[in-house]
Structure 1
């Protein structure tokens, strides 16, 4: 015990020890700073390359290039962090030879317990290869719906319209609905009271839709006619083809224009009413 304590004190009081520690600390800081700088330069270069190429291609191909660019940035980041980790181990005096030699055996052992990780990575590559969706698309998978922000090596990040960020492992993405590929249909059901003249209401709605202008409309909305007759109202259905994932916005505009037109022309929208009958009784 005394020998161990004496050896420790000799080491701590040796000026060469502190000099070596100082040099090692400086080298570690330099390695970290240079690695971060290299990653920053590589990321900026990839962003510039993707932006230049995307500007020369149609939107569908541009989206795919953006997605691939972000995936490549993820791969570069993982590789750089691995290299940084190995350099730091080397600086603190760990021999990398035996470590790398045993990596194969350790890798096999880990592989049996990391099947889900491999599945996530392979699924991520197939998502991009098959162009199932890209960054910026609005998709739904399972109960999650939102805008794709990142397609990573292991997970896909989806931002919902209310602000929540969903991190979904790629291996769990089995069924996907992509709302950003084809044109969508805005559907508006207009309720008209039975007291109103249906043909006149159809004419007013049709004229209003003919005059409707909106940047997301692909063609003029179409009045399909009477869709349903319920106990209290007649339902008139109107549809409008619009750009991908803009049907909710266009439907709101159509609803407002139709409501204003019906109000101007005195066409009533049905609402709950109460009818009271008063009965009088004669005495005698």
Structure 2
């Protein structure tokens, strides 16, 4: 049976004629123009997708740099302010850099996913597939996934919100309701905490209903000073306040002070003792260090005052301990 040339092969210089002359394949020759057109369109789709992805990545990188750097031009300062508000406003430089990197990585992942999905659908359309059933099936699969893995989806959405809002970060001391401790790792699905006793807790982000972060912003430090009931309260308060003010003005804590130490007066009365209170406001990360430094300074000052004047004994009485209990320590 003789195979006749397709009509398109009669067109001199056409792709159909070239394919027919070189292969003799009727089907391939007749569909060569459609194949070439689809191939060109697919290449264009891939190139455009790569260009769009590159431009979006570049914009994200630019946005993250603007949120950290202070040397933006005058024309870009309003945009820089908006970037800082969205990606880390009000944070110190190191914390802002960590947060912007995390948010930038998240935005890049979302961008790649969207661009690849759109490009894949367009390529399938160019190959002749009916994308309507595909989109419908994807919608149904999405609904089924949402119902079947709603807890997982909720965890991821909560993780994204926590990252964008910077509710806490690695190294922060937090109370998540179900667990508390120092944040060891933060992912989009779970948060890992190390409790004071060393226990590692893995908390699902979707289960976190409240967050108490004691490592952000300012912290109010109250230093209790316990003295004997019959001691010179005014003198003890004066010495304790002077020591607290000295610690606050020291090079170690001067930059961390938000509000200078003040005397609260008598904050507690117990059998044989009186408790004085000294309060100061410091950066959250310096709270424990400042508290320890003030306690040490007050104790040293009290010991020095007792050596100079034996009547100035500000040591609280030792309480008798019950069976199995340790004796009460001295202030």
- Fold shared, TM-score > 0.5 on shorter chain: yes
Does residue 272 of structure 1 match 2:314? no
Shift of the 80–210 alpha-carbon distance from structure 1 to 2, 3 Å rule, reads: closer
Give 1:54's match in structure 2, choosing from 63, 68, 71: 68
How far did residue 197 of structure 1 move?
1.6
Give 2:279's match in structure 1, choosing from 232, 235, 239: 239
The residue number in structure 1 matching 2:151 is 116
**Is residue 103–residue 163 contact of structure 2 (8 Å, CA) maintained in 1?**
no
The residue number in structure 2 matching 1:32 is none
Distance 1:217 1:246 in 2: 9
Distance 2:61 2:304 in 1: 53
CA-to-aligned-CA distance 1:253-274 (integer Å, 9 cap, x gap): 1111111111110133113267
Shift of the 166–201 alpha-carbon distance from structure 1 to 2, 3 Å rule, reads: same
TM-score, reference length from structure 2: 0.53
How far did residue 151 of structure 1 move?
4.3
Does residue 135 of structure 1 match 2:173? no
The residue number in structure 2 matching 1:66 is 98
Using CA pairs below 8 Å that are at least 6 residues apart, which structure has the higher relative contact order?
A: 1
TM-score, reference length from structure 1: 0.61
Shift of the 237–69 alpha-carbon distance from structure 1 to 2, 3 Å rule, reads: same
Distance 1:273 1:121 in 2: 54
**Is residue 67–residue 100 contact of structure 2 (8 Å, CA) maintained in 1?**
no
**Is residue 148–residue 159 contact of structure 1 (8 Å, CA) maintained in 2?**
yes
Distance 2:243 2:299 in 1: 10
Q: How does 1:241-256 map to 2 (within 5 A)?
A: 241-256=281-296
Shift of the 117–75 alpha-carbon distance from structure 1 to 2, 3 Å rule, reads: farther
How far did residue 234 of structure 1 move?
1.1
The residue number in structure 2 matching 1:230 is 270
Give 1:196's match in structure 2, choosing from 231, 236, 255: 231
Shift of the 47–146 alpha-carbon distance from structure 1 to 2, 3 Å rule, reads: farther
Higher Cα Rg: structure 1 or 2? Answer: 2
Distance 2:69 2:107 in 1: 24
How far did residue 71 of structure 1 move?
4.4
**Is residue 121–residue 154 contact of structure 1 (8 Å, CA) maintained in 2?**
yes
* RMSD across aligned positions (CA): 3.9
Q: Secondary structure at the match of 2:257?
A: coil
What stretches of structure 2 of length at least 5 have no aligned partner? Answer: 1-56, 71-83, 116-128, 307-312, 321-331
How far did residue 223 of structure 1 move?
1.6
Q: Secondary structure at the match of 1:265?
A: helix
**Is residue 141–residue 173 contact of structure 1 (8 Å, CA) maintained in 2?**
yes
How far did residue 139 of structure 1 move?
2.6
What stretches of structure 1 of length at least 5 have no aligned partner? Answer: 1-42, 84-96, 275-284
Shift of the 152–238 alpha-carbon distance from structure 1 to 2, 3 Å rule, reads: same
Q: How does 1:2-151 map to 2 (within 5 A)?
A: 50=64, 53-56=67-70, 59-60=90-91, 63=95, 66-73=98-105, 101=134, 104-129=139-164, 131=165, 133-136=167-170, 137-148=172-183, 150-151=185-186
Q: How does 1:159-238 map to 2 (within 5 A)?
A: 159-160=194-195, 165-212=200-247, 213=250, 214-215=253-254, 216-238=256-278
Q: Secondary structure at the match of 2:91?
A: helix
